[in-house]
Amino acid sequence: MRQGKETVGVMVAPAGKRWRARIVTYPSGFWTVSRGTAVMKFYADDPETAEREAVNHIEAFIQKSGLTRTAEFLPVRFGTESDPNGKTGRRLCGWNVRFGHNTLSREAVLCDVSERGIFVQTENPLPAGSVVRMELDAGGTRMPLRGTVAWVRLSRETGRALGMGVRLVRPPAMYLDSVKKLT
């Protein structure tokens, strides 16, 4: 049986014309179906229903496992975050990304994006200064990206995921349009 505290969240993002929710345990990663063969996904026609299905699954798991829930579920919506000066920049998302130096050998999730950069949540970031190739899956649309790792976070901090900040090099128009559509 698990010991200690875990933080569990639900990521909701567009998936074509529908919405997809995934359960994430911080800092471990996505919940998977039995034997870890695939990431567990909950699809619905609207974000609230997809989120509710994932939360219901978590509640059932907690009850079945005899675990104790010590906090309420707090909704966090994807969309635009503003900086203290009121400028729009980062947008929260849950897009999948494959990345690497020369080959797309690693998989991760993008926590937030902007027109100039992205944060890749991964326990195995590339070193700062590395050139990185990526293939982004933005709601069923795949697009290639290139960038430079601007910084990495290798130590655990409360409320902050491990990963790397990537400064994008000439992001394609399709990417910029997808970022603008996140509201």
| Domain extents in the chain | 7-65, 80-181
pLDDT at 146: 94
Beta bridge partners of 39: 32
Q: How far is CA 70 from CA 38, 57, 151, in A?
A: 28, 17, 34
The predicted structure's pLDDT at residue 144: 92
DSSP assigned state of 123? S
Which class would CATH give 80-181?
Answer: mainly beta
Q: pLDDT tens track of the chain, all 183 residues? A: 445 566 777 877 777 788 888 887 755 566 767 666 677 888 998 878 888 898 888 888 888 887 776 665 555 444 434 333 333 466 767 778 899 988 899 988 887 888 888 888 888 899 999 999 999 887 677 899 999 999 998 887 666 778 899 999 999 988 888 888 775
So what's the pLDDT on residue 72? Answer: 59
Predicted confidence at residue 36, as pLDDT, reads: 61
Structure tokens at 173: 């128009």
Residue 30: partners with Cβ closer than 8 Å, 6 or more residues away? 22, 23, 24, 39, 40, 109
Model confidence, pTM: 0.54
